[in-house]
Homo-oligomer: A and B are copies of this chain.
Amino acid sequence: MTRFSFDLTATDGAARTGVIHTPRGEVRTPAFMPVGTAATVKAMLPGSVRETGADILLGNTYHLMLRPTAERIDRLGGLHRFMNWDRPILTDSGGFQVMSLAELRKLTEEGVTFRSHIDGSRHTLTPERSMEIQRLLGSDIVMAFDECPALPAERDRIAASMRLSMRWAQRSRDAFGDRPGHALFGIQQGGLEPDLRAESAEALRGIGFDGYAVGGLAVGEGQEAMFGVLDYAPGQLPEDKPRYLMGVGKPDDIVGAVRRGIDMMDCVLPSRSGRTGQAFTRRGVVNIRNARHADDPRPLDEACACPACRGYSRAYLHHVSRAKEIIASMLMTWHNLHYYQELMAGMRDAIAAGSFDAWEAEFHATRALGDIDPI
């Protein structure tokens, strides 16, 4: 059986490209992971997600533990079979979403108790329970259970939270055990404080993980502050393991993160935006519900090969998005996920060719043109 491993095949400055090997297939990095929160990438069939170029999906422990429950998914053969996706799945630990979605949260050294936002039922998440849930789901890449304060926060609060997360990281490692073919990633915390980030990285390296996330970002600090951390944080983590930036982001966030040495990212933005009529294109964001598209026979992007751009005009997408037809969510999400995967493929090729600077300049120059002129 293939063991979990990471081959770094090329670098260009801090930017890296490589391949993560798993028993369920390869993940080309830098990788963007579409989010399949409740065992579905919203408005997409799994085969269509794969057609966009995705190698791996993200599943949300918090949502799945509440409905349909990890135990039920296990009885049904695991998350891959349940949602009809046979390639790798990364699951988050539930920690972040408990803090942002659940009600009546109570945080202790042991873990977090909370009430479900769906039906008010009471639950507990601990490092041990998070590992159990992610094992029941059959996750290929398991995330350590951590705690993440919203920014801005006091330095003392950030330090205490980071140290709790490091104790939880050790408990996650202990509870995960030895599971060949499955990976456990640790999560660096420390807010915007370089010394706390260094302390966190040192703790994680001491425990030892198959990959490392830069956590605690994309929580309201803004792009400049995030890039400030990414200028040094990836370098504090082991070079020979994948580095994952959680919950990022907009296309320019992603490009900036890859430039700074990030290998994996996930975000709901392309799918969520698709459902609200926002399209990402090489030339920026298009709000398809804007009246200027009502008579426009052109596709979202002439150069895009996705089904939305090959088969439909802006006028059609405008019509179905305004009419709240499901096909609008289907086509716009497909386009956005396709765009994101094209973005990643472009960066992988550029890094391999040693031309990331030129690629990035072109990326920004094309966006600076703005959307095509109205007809």
Contacts and interface: CB of A to CB of B under 8 A. Distances in A.
B297 A77 contact: yes
Copy count, this protein chain = 2
B313 A82 contact: yes
B319 A43 contact: no
A83 B316 contact: yes
A8 interface: no
B315 A82 contact: yes
Interface string A314-356: 0110111011011101110000000000000000000000000
**Residue picked from A43, A67, A68, most chain B C-beta under 10 Å:** A68
Contacts of A28: none
A180 interface: no
Interface in A44-96: 44-46, 67-68, 72, 75-77, 82-84
Contacts of A77: 297
Contacts of A318: 68
B294 A327 contact: no
Given A316-B82, A326-B326, A294 B68 contact: yes
Report the interface size class on chain A: 35 or more
A305 to B, nearest CB: 15
A177 interface: no
A315 B76 contact: yes
Given A76-B297, A294-B72, A313-B76, A326 B327 contact: no
Given A76-B295, A315-B68, A326 B42 contact: yes
A40 interface: yes
A250 to B, nearest CB: 23
A365 to B, nearest CB: 32
A206 interface: no
Contacts of A68: 294, 315, 318-319
Given A76-B315, A295-B72, A325 B38 contact: yes
A320 B63 CA distance: 12
Nearest to A77: B297
23 contacts: A39-B316, A39-B319, A40-B320, A40-B325, A40-B326, A40-B327, A43-B326, A43-B330, A44-B327, A45-B327, A45-B330, A68-B294, A68-B315, A68-B318, A76-B297, A77-B297, A82-B313, A82-B315, A83-B316, A84-B312, A84-B316, A326-B326, A330-B330
Interface of A: 38-40, 42-46, 67-68, 72, 75-77, 82-84, 294-295, 297, 307, 311-313, 315-316, 318-320, 322-323, 325-327, 329-331
Given A40-B325, A43-B327, 6 more contacts: A44-B327, A45-B330, A72-B294, A75-B295, A326-B329, A330-B330
